[in-house]
Amino acid sequence: MMPLSPAYRPDPAHVSLGGELYDPVRPAVFPKTILRHRNQRWAERLGLGTLDNQEWVDTFGHFQPLPGNLEQPLALRYHGHQFRHYNPDLGDGRGFLFAQLRDPVDGRLLDLGTKGSGQTPWSRQGDGRLTLKGGVREVLATAMLEALGVPTSKSFSLVETGEALWRNDEPSPTRSAVLVRLSHSHIRIGTFQRLAFHSDSATIRRLLTHTITHYYPDLRDLPADEQPAAFVGAVAQACARTTAAWMAAGFVHGVLNTDNINITGESFDYGPYRFLPHYDARFTAAYFDQSGLYCYGRQPASLQWNLARLAGCFLDLVPAEPLNAALERFSPAFEAALRAAVLHRLNLAPTNNLDADLDHIATLFQAMADSKAPFQRVFFDWCGGDASRAAASPQAALYASAAFQPAAAALAAFSVADEARQHHAYLQRRAPVDLLYDEIETIWAAIAQTDDWTLLAEKLRAIDDLRLFTLGPRSA
């Protein structure tokens, strides 16, 4: 009998939607299963922390069903716009929904979904596998984003699987892995788009009822004709908060297609992501994004475009006017969230003037762009708006330059939000925690060349220090 704690609360809600939205599948059988990462902090929160490593691998490497949960994994069906071009041939091609459970802390429905778990009906000639390097990169991305306060999926498990994979974009053969993500839903904008493509209004209505029931319960009591617009507005606000958090974190997702945007607004699926070396609105993460469609500075506009595609899925149910009005909720939500995220990172209290605060933040970002100050270093050195702290930084000469003076003046307009936080151990470090491309490559090189996982473990410990500074000891 699997030793689960009382915190484990299975709730396989997705099966109630019926077979029109998924395909039961079987996981691949791997030649090896070597545990490389387990998210013990979140496992304990969800009642899975009592599994020993063999039980963990049996569950998240061989995919033996969890008690009271899905009897068979489900490959989810969806469509999507990829770089603004509609693709009706998408779906879970190398992943599936493995289990669903309730968070005992906040009661929210959570998914355990995979990446690299084998072929499905939607693999489109692909092998359904994930490179170990891709898994390591996602473990790092999710840990860093969580530590910076971004609503993100969590890398729950990474198991190396012993296969040699061939890829065009990295040296091959390369090692393989299966990743398990913990997410608030795998229902995407593209899930609704697929049903609209097939003019299936009845299933759209059923999916809407499901998503409101499980993810936006405050909308359940609205009249049926008001629910589509209210839902679009709620998703717009959730996406606005996440997009603002990306901007404050200096994060570039890289592939903001509609199949990569879920209806809870939570960020997930990290392929060619990057963190900014310095503020650059044109910085692009994906080498294949030659037009810069999804560059750092265009991320808010990209999400607005995607949300308009979601609204379009309901045009057979309600008129355009309330849907358009709902989309307008994005901009004010984004502005409020950007102010909150930037000022929290800096441990500064907002004033009673939103527009003035946003002007000061714009001045800061412009000075960061003009001076090319290291992105994470600025937030570290200027925490609390402390000019003396900045003057003691290795970047002090840069902060004294004419290019940075407008930012120093802008930061002086705020007061410290939390005096105790100014004395946090994280701020005693010699340098902030960062996650730039070259460091990720160095971490991977140690694994690829000598199977040395030390650098990854050290980096995750450092990121956890950042998490405790950003989110506090009460975070999971």
CA dist., res. 39 & res. 142, Å (int): 11
What is the enclosing helix (H) or strand (E) of 74?
strand 74-76
DSSP 394: T
| Residue pair 440/140 in contact by the 8 Å Cβ criterion | yes
Alpha-carbon span 40 to 48, nearest angstrom: 8
218 among known catalytic residues: no
Structure tokens at 322: 């309330």
Q: How far apart are CA 95 and CA 117, in angstroms?
A: 5
Number of residues written out for the chain: 476
In the block, which residue shows the tokens 């299963």? 33
Q: How far apart are CA 167 and CA 148, in angstroms?
A: 31
Residue 301: phi and psi, rounded to 5, are -65, -35
Measure Cα distances from 423 to 338, 414, 431 in Å.
25, 18, 15
Can you name the residues that pair with 23 across neighbouring β-strands? 75
- Give the active site residue among 259, 269, 357, 381: 259
- Residue matched to tokens 């392929």: 271
Active site residues: 259
